[in-house]
């Protein structure tokens, strides 16, 4: 049963141009005006297109997200973008610790923790990503890796601020590869993340926590994943670049929320 409001994010990564961002956001905004979604939707365009997407989404329930932020508030940090700047242009949510930042850009646990702190301090919601590489999974280290990642990222976070976090379990071997984790692969990891949260922040925090799955999510597989008790939504990359496919994923989540409501 999903007592939590499910959440679906569209992580557009470094794709599209201004016109395509406007068209894609406009299609999702139109759908949001025409129907009431049973889940929270957030779009994460590239930085330069945030204002254009914000103007498309204005007046709808669809939220504006950013893919990353700087851990520092201001100053000599060429090329970086602060949490306050994101808030200024209407961003409500920011992705922290995405595996492409960790593994391509070399972001380590301490930096992820500092970014999480900066996001929450500015009043942003954070989507904190964790996930194991293929070699970790094959060596049976999946839970060790993801629990160490959440432990490190939240080391200085108080229970009060933990409510600003949505987790995203994104196995690195599934991201952008077309290899979606099966419900049997993903559910135990989600359950372990919730159990860890119960131990660290208490039962209420654990029950309220949303844990999205990410990694080659597509509409044909989303209903089976969302039916799992600890999967509360999705962080969608490639499939979020098509309005039709993304909205099919959103609707599969919504139907699950409705059919399992108490
Ligand atoms: P993907 O990306 O859906 O293209 O695998 C997911 C993500 O990186 O958030």
Nearest CA to 154 out of 205, 189, 116, 101 is that of: 116
85: Cβ contacts below 8 Å, ≥ 6 apart: none
> What is the mean predicted confidence (pLDDT) over 222-235?
96
Residue range 20-68, pLDDT digits in tens: 999 999 999 999 999 999 899 999 999 999 999 999 999 999 999 999 9
Mutate to test the pocket of ligand 1, among 236, 239, 240, 246 (most ligand atoms within 8 A of CB): 236
Counting residues of the chain whose pLDDT is more than 70, the rounded percentage is: 96
CA distances from 9 to 14, 65, 135, 213, 255 (A): 15, 8, 27, 10, 17
Q: Which CATH number applies to 6-251? A: 3.20.20.70
Specify whether 132 is catalytic: no
- Enter the pTM of the model: 0.96
- Delimit the domains of the chain by residue range: 6-251
Per-chain mean pLDDT for the chain: 95
8 A C-beta contact, residue 12 and residue 25 = no
Residue range 87-140, pLDDT digits in tens: 999 999 999 999 999 999 999 999 999 999 999 999 999 999 999 999 999 999
> What is the mean predicted confidence (pLDDT) over 7-17?
98
**The tokens of 106 are what?**
């070399």
**Which band of pLDDT confidence, cut at 50, 70 and 90, is reported for residue 198?**
very high
Query: How many whole angstroms from 163 Cα to the centroid of ligand 1?
Result: 24
Query: Angle of helix 183-201 relative to helix 142-153, nearest 10 degrees?
Result: 40
């Amino acid at each position: 049963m999903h007592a939590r409001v499910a959440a679906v994010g569209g992580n557009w990564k470094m794709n599209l141009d201004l016109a395509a961002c406007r068209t894609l956001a406009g299609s999702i905004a139109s759908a949001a005006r025409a129907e009431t979604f049973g889940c929270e939707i957030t779009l994460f365009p590239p930085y330069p297109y945030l204002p254009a997407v914000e103007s498309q989404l204005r007046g709808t329930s669809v939220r504006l997200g950013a893919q990353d932020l700087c851990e520092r508030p201001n100053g000599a940090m060429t090329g970086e973008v602060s949490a306050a700047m994101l808030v200024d242009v209407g961003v409500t949510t920011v992705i922290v610790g995405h595996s492409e930042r960790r593994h391509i850009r070399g972001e380590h646990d301490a930096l992820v923790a500092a970014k999480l702190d900066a996001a929450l301090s500015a009043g942003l919601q954070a989507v904190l990503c964790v996930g194991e590489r293929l070699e970790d999974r094959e060596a049976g280290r999946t839970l060790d890796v993801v629990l160490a990642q959440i432990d490190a990222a939240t080391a200085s976070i108080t229970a009060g601020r933990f409510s600003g976090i949505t987790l995203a379990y994104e196995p690195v071997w599934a991201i952008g590869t077309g290899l979606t984790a099966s419900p049997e692969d993903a559910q135990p990891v989600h359950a372990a993340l919730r159990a860890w949260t119960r131990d660290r922040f208490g039962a209420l925090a654990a029950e309220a926590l949303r844990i999205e799955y990410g990694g080659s999510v597509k509409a044909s597989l989303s209903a089976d994943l969302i039916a799992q008790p600890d999967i509360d939504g999705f962080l969608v990359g490639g499939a979020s670049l098509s309005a039709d496919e993304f909205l099919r994923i959103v609707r599969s989540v919504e139907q699950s929320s409705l059919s399992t409501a108490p």
